[in-house]
Amino acid sequence: MMISFTVSYDFISIKNYKLLIDELERLGAHRSQDSFWLVACNNTAKGLHDYLRKFMDDDDKLWVSELTRNHHYTQANSGKNAWIAQNPLAR
Domain boundaries, the chain: 3-86
The answer to whether 68 and 38 are in contact (CB under 8 A) is no
Q: What is the DSSP string of 53-78?
A: HTTS-TT-EEEEEE--SS---SSPPT
Identify residue 65 by its one-letter amino acid code: S
**Is the separation of the CB atoms in 33 and 83 below 8 Å?**
no
The whole-number pLDDT of residue 90 equals: 72
**What pLDDT was estimated at residue 75?**
62
What is the full per-residue pLDDT of the chain (91 aa) written as tens digits?
Answer: 789 999 999 888 777 788 999 999 999 999 998 899 999 999 999 999 999 999 998 999 999 999 987 776 666 667 777 777 787 777 7
CATH topology of domain 3-86: Alpha-Beta Plaits (3.30.70)
